[in-house]
Structure formats: C-alpha cells, structure tokens
C-alpha cells in the first residue's frame, strides 16, 4: 500500500485540497456565489450551531455534486445490529467471550456493514444518550457501498487485519494497535485484505475528547500532535449500476441508490473530521513509589456526560510499561465499580488473566459485579520478587468503561456461541489465607 499522507493534530481547524485541483478551497468565505471548479459547497455539522466555541464542530465540503442527490432511503435487513436492550434478561455475572468468530470468504462473504454485531449497550439513540459496543467481523471489502451513522460516533479498534477506510475527507489506513474515530454523519467505506475483526465503541450523545491532564501538566498520555487526519482525495466516478449509501438511523439500516461515488470531495476545511491514532504513541504515567493507581491514568479518549467527571465512555488502554512499585501487589486490585467495564485484547496477554482472555475475545464486568485477578495471578503476584520489570510487553489490552448499565444482546449471550461458560471458575481456587495469629513483625 503506497503510503498515505495525513495532517497532524487533535480537533484542529484543518484545510485540504486534492493536489490535482489547486485553489479548489474558496478563499476567505464558505459560500461563494460560484465555487471554484464548479463545485458545490456543503456543510456537515457535528454540533448544534449554537454550541460554545470550544466544542463547536463543523466542516465544509467542496464536492462535485451535493449529498442530497440520491434516491429515497428504504429499510434493509440489519443482521446482528441491535439497539433493543430488552431482547433478553440482564445478566449481572462476570462474562467472558472466546475470540469472536469470523466467517471465511469461501463460506459466506461478509463486509464491514453486514459483519456488524451488537454485543451490549444502554441508552437511547432517539434521545441521544448512551452507548453500544459492537464487534465487526468481515472478510470482504465494501464495493460501491458507503455507510454513515446518523446516531453517533464510532471508535474503531482493529484487532485483526488492516482497514483501508475511504471517507469524504480522504483515506486512512488503520492497522491493529491503531484506533480511529469516524464521527456522526461521515460517509465511509471499508476495504479489507483478509479475515478481519475488531471492536467498536459507539456513543450517541457527545464526541470523544482528550482527557484533561490536571496536575500531570501540559504533556503526556495521548499527545494531540499524534492524531492523524486524512487529506482530501476524490473520485469523479459514475456508477451506472448504482452506488449504495447506507444510513444507520434510529438504530436501523436504510439504503439509498445514487449514480455516483459519494467520495467526490475535492477540497474541505473544518474541525469536524475522522482521525486515527497509534496506541504505541501513548505516553504512560504510573506509580513510581507504591500502590496500584486507578486505570483512569491510561485514558486515551473520553466521551463526557453532563455530570462533571463522569464519562459516557472512556477508552482506556493497558500498554507496555515498566512496573516498579515497591511493597505492592502490582496487578489490578479486587474491586467492585459503579461503572461498567468492557475489556478487549488486541494482542498478547492481560496481566490479571494470563490464560483464558484471548486476543479477539472480550469480557464484561458490569456495575458492582466483583472481579479482579484470577487465582493464578494472585498466587504469583503475592510472591513475586519486586524488581523493576516490563509489564504487558508486546501486549495491548483495552477497556471501554461506561457510567451506563449495559445489557448484553441475544447475539452476545447466545447466537455468537463464544461465551466462555467456565469464566467464573478462574476465581474459585482463591484460598482463605486468614491467620488470626498473625503478628505485625512476623516473617
């Protein structure tokens, strides 16, 4: 793949012209009476017109024909995509999934859209508050087909296989260990090269932001300059057989036909864009004295709710780092949380569960459901020689942490057929080590 160009920065005011059409971006105004090259101007709003400046988001497209030039939308089947949280009873148990299955192309051709499976979620796409977690598993590229989400933003976490994503803003190649965000309303089409799988965090209310750094200072965690935004790229391609534009609207899929490619934006400017980020660029901060810090120190992106400090969802990673804390049980502590924790594994092993939690699988520890290291991890870490050591080398686990109380879909509990029925057994060997005769200075 010839290397693609990107612009750097998080939420900047970007401008980009396809190099074949210099001057295609109108100078000094958004709506000239006639746009350069005979293009149409079109605004994509990502926030209410009246939002305060710090979170007002919009971009301007200069495109060959406007998006409105399509035939009417009709309802289409939506496979395992669901926003019905009452399909099945809620389940407070600790849940773990073996790697989610991907069809072989020889069995069944599945593209990114037909390969969307909703695992869990909460809230409502109509009142626009909440989230959904989906698994994508596909083996075929979207041909003459694009998708946009009217309901919210997608954060994509590829686990297997590269995604070449064509968007109205240009192209992005997103590889496992990178993530990308495609925000509400942005048309995109996904090309894949093998059996491909990953995780999606969808939020309905707000957009993702970088977390505040507080006393950390001006630098660290995910630095704004490491976010990459595509450069303008267009095709003036007629599709007489019909190009299918799919909209996810109120949780349902609709398709409209048009006679041309929607990737017809010659130039654009604005601060409402898709973007990608390489998780290797994360600057890790952690305890260098004692005790296990809360995982919020590993937050890459946050989608804030209106309650101060409470996220609709945080995207948190557990990246390779040094463990140096003295006199400390270094793995995660046992805990019960007022937030829901969905975890996935991109590669390697997760420190609290060396066995059983596999790349491409997942786990859900719901609100107030107790969890923590498995018995094997407890035994090992309680006796470990506390030398400085690499933690999570060649590993990347992540967590979608949410203040919403999510329910699992029928697909997640039954149809996917990869729920690990033995998960809770990993804690059963935990022993009662209580010694009532213990003395403070005894060895």
Ligand X SMILES: O=C(O)Cc1cc(O)ccc1O
What positions carry a catalytic annotation? 292
Binding residues for Fe cation: 335, 341, 371
Interface stretch with Fe ion, choices 69-77, 149-157, 284-292, 340-348 (CB under 5 A): 340-348
User: CB count, 10 Å around CB of 430?
Assistant: 15
In order of 307, 309, 315, 341, the CA distances from 286 in angstroms are: 26, 20, 17, 20
Binding residues for homogentisate: 350, 371
User: CB count, 10 Å around CB of 385?
Assistant: 5
Shorter beta-carbon distance to ligand X: residue 136 or 400:
400
Shortest Cβ 33–Fe ion spacing (Å): 58
Shorter beta-carbon distance to ligand X: residue 232 or 426:
426
Shortest Cβ 94–ligand X spacing (Å): 10
Task: Restricting to residues 189-248, name those near ligand X by CB under 6 A.
Answer: none
Among 81, 168, 371, 381, binds ligand X (CB under 6 A): 371
Interface stretch with Fe ion, choices 80-88, 109-117, 196-204, 335-343 (CB under 5 A): 335-343
Find all residues with CB under 8 Å of 149, minimum gap 6, and list them.
182, 184, 185, 186, 202, 247, 248
Do 284 and 265 form a contact (C-beta atoms < 8 A)? Answer: no
Q: Number of residues interacting with Fe ion: please give it, by CB under 5 A.
A: 1
Q: What are phi and psi of 177, to 5 degrees?
A: 85, 0
Shorter beta-carbon distance to ligand X: residue 243 or 318:
318
Shorter beta-carbon distance to ligand X: residue 260 or 318:
318
Q: Which residue is nearest to Fe ion (CB)?
A: 341
Shorter beta-carbon distance to ligand X: residue 276 or 371:
371
Do 228 and 172 form a contact (C-beta atoms < 8 A)? Answer: yes
Shortest Cβ 314–Fe ion spacing (Å): 12
Shortest Cβ 74–ligand X spacing (Å): 43
Binding residues: 335, 341, 350, 371
Among 232, 399, 406, 408, binds ligand X (CB under 6 A): 399
Q: Does 341 bind Fe ion (CB under 5 A)?
A: yes
Shortest Cβ 156–Fe ion spacing (Å): 23
Shorter beta-carbon distance to ligand X: residue 131 or 399:
399
Find all residues with CB under 8 Å of 387, minimum gap 6, and list them.
none
Q: Does 295 bind ligand X (CB under 6 A)?
A: yes
Q: What is the side-by-side order of every strand in the sheet holding 178-182? A: 6-8, 228-230, 275-278, 178-182, 153-160, 196-203, 129-138, 116-124, 407-408
Q: Which does 113 bind (CB under 5 to 8 A by kind): ligand X, Fe ion, none?
A: none
Q: Which does 426 bind (CB under 5 to 8 A by kind): ligand X, Fe ion, none?
A: none
Distance CA 123, CA 182 (A): 20
Task: Restricting to residues 315-354, name those near ligand X by CB under 6 A.
Answer: 332, 335, 341, 352
Shorter beta-carbon distance to ligand X: residue 341 or 420:
341
Q: Does 314 bind Fe ion (CB under 5 A)?
A: no
Shortest Cβ 119–ligand X spacing (Å): 17
DSSP β-bridge partners for residue 123? 130
Q: Which residue is nearest to ligand X (CB)?
A: 332
Per-residue tokens: 239 = 């599709």
Pairing of strands 145-149, 238-249: parallel
Q: Which does 352 bind (CB under 5 to 8 A by kind): ligand X, Fe ion, none?
A: ligand X
Do 73 and 256 form a contact (C-beta atoms < 8 A)? Answer: yes
User: CB count, 10 Å around CB of 361?
Assistant: 19
Q: Number of residues interacting with ligand X: please give it, by CB under 6 A.
A: 8
Distance CA 380, CA 391 (A): 14
Find all residues with CB under 8 Å of 431, minimum gap 6, and list them.
375
Shortest Cβ 119–Fe ion spacing (Å): 17
Following CA atoms 330, 333, 338, 339 in sequence, which dihedral angle do they give, to the nearest 10 degrees?
50
Q: Rule CB under 6 A: which residues touch ligand X?
A: 295, 332, 335, 341, 352, 365, 371, 399
Q: Rule CB under 5 A: which residues touch Fe ion?
A: 341
């Amino acid at each position: 793949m010839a290397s693609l160009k990107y612009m750097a920065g998080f939420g900047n005011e970007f401008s980009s012209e396809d190099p074949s059409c210099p001057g295609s971006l109108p100078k000094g105004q958004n709506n000239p009476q006639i746009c350069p090259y005979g293009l149409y101007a079109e605004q994509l709003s990502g926030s209410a017109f009246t939002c305060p400046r710090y979170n007002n988001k919009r971009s301007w497209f200069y495109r060959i024909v406007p998006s409105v030039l399509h035939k009417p939308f009709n309802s289409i089947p939506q496979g395992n995509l669901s926003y019905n949280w009452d399909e099945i009873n809620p389940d407070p148990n600790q849940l773990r999934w073996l790697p989610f299955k991907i069809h072989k192309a020889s069995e069944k051709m599945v593209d990114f859209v037909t390969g969307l499976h909703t695992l869990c979620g909460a809230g409502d796409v109509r009142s626009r508050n909440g989230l959904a977690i989906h698994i994508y598993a596909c083996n075929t590229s979207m041909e003459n087909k694009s998708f946009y989400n009217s309901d919210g933003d997608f954060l994509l976490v590829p686990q297997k296989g590269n995604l070449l994503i064509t968007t109205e803003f240009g192209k992005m190649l997103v590889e496992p260990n990178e993530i990308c965000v495609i925000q509400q309303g942005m048309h995109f089409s996904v090309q894949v090269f093998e059996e491909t799988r990953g995780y999606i965090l969808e939020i309905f209310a707000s957009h993702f932001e970088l977390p505040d750094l507080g006393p950390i200072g001006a630098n660290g965690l995910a630095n704004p300059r490491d976010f990459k935004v595509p450069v303008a790229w267009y095709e003036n391609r007629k599709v007489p057989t019909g190009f299918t534009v799919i909209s996810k609207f109120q949780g349902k899929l609709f398709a409209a036909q048009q006679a041309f490619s929607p990737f017809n934006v010659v130039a654009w400017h604005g601060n409402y864009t898709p973007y990608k980020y390489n998780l290797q660029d994360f600057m890790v901060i952690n305890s260098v004295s004692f005790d296990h810090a809360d995982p919020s120190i590993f937050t890459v992106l946050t989608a804030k709710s209106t309650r101060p400090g409470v996220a609709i969802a945080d995207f948190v990673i557990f990246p390779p780092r040094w463990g140096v804390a003295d006199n400390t049980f270094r793995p995660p502590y046992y805990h019960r949380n007022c937030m829901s924790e969905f975890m996935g594994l991109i590669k390697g092993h997760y420190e609290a569960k060396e066995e059983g939690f596999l790349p491409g699988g997942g786990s859900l520890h719901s609100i107030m459901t107790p969890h923590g290291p498995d018995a094997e991890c407890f035994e090992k870490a309680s006796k470990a020689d506390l030398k400085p050591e690499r933690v999570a080398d060649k590993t990347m686990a992540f967590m979608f942490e949410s203040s919403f109380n999510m329910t699992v879909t029928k697909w997640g509990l039954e149809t996917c057929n990869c729920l690990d029925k033995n998960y809770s057994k990993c804690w059963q060997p935990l022993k009662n080590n209580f010694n009532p005769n213990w003395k403070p200075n005894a060895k």
